[in-house]
Amino acid sequence: MNSQVRIRRSRGAVCGAALILLGLWGGLAPFVGHYLHFGFTPDKAWAYNSGRLYLSAVPGGAAVLGGLAVILTRSRFVGVTGTLVAALGGAWFVAGTGITTNLLKLTSISAGTPLGFSGTAGQPYTVHAYLEVLALFTGVGVLIVFVAAVGCGRVSILSARDAADAADTTFYPDYQAAAAGVPEQSSYPTVTRYPDSATDPFPEPATGQFPTAAGKFPPASGEFTQPSSLPPGNPPFGEAPKPFTPEAPA
């Protein structure tokens, strides 16, 4: 694995643990909050309906999975992907109810009514009802998105410690096993650029294959004494006139 991809597991430990706790709270609180009269209708603990499944359990599970990925992985890509999954779960806590009711028109998927709400038409939310909305949906979703953003920044940066870990092959046990199977080369082989005269790989040509210099060229003593091929006689041109001088006028 590339040294720029490896990270320490402690890099996202705090953010991953926070994502796991927030995801467990957001996914389980609607099922157990009724013991303290804190939650949404139906007013019964561990009661299952589609609203609690799709608006609480599913985004809570996404936050938990993202937190586990951030804690357990040593890969930068896996850590960033885990934070993105957790952030999507947090965003669904905030906007899931409005999306399913107003955009998708799925009236069967509903979060219910806060137990602290009196139910009277036109009556504003009480402090109790407002805290239930914040604690189980809006507030927990915003916290999950914030922690996921911090965790994404933590696992995505390349620090000086990462460079030091990349130079230290003993930091990761799996690299020790991989390095043990590769033999180390103590030195580079010596390359002979020119052949030795004693062991010349190019043998001399066989005798008689090429003519010798004596048979191919005339000897040096007779190089300029060969008879001319021109016929004997007077030269075709006369002597050149003498240049004009004051002592010997033309």
pLDDT in tens, 145-187: 999 999 999 898 876 666 665 555 555 555 455 555 555 555 5
For the whole model, what pTM was predicted? Answer: 0.63
> For 184-233, how does the pLDDT look when each residue is reduced to its tens digit (9 = 90+)?
555 555 555 555 555 555 555 555 555 555 555 555 555 555 555 556 66
Burial 160-178 (b: 16+ CB within 10 A, else e): eebeebbeeeeeeeeeeee
> For 14-63, how does the pLDDT look when each residue is reduced to its tens digit (9 = 90+)?
999 999 999 999 999 999 988 888 999 888 888 889 999 999 999 999 99
What are the distances in angstroms from CA 120 to CA 85, 94, 114, 131, 134?
A: 39, 25, 13, 18, 21
For residue 238, how many other CB atoms are within 10 A of its CB? Answer: 7
Query: Domain coordinates of the chain in residue numbers?
Result: 9-179
What pLDDT band is residue 1 in, cutting at 50, 70 and 90? very low
Report whether 114 contacts 133 (CB < 8 A): yes
> For 115-154, how does the pLDDT look when each residue is reduced to its tens digit (9 = 90+)?
887 666 556 678 888 999 999 999 999 999 999 999 999 8
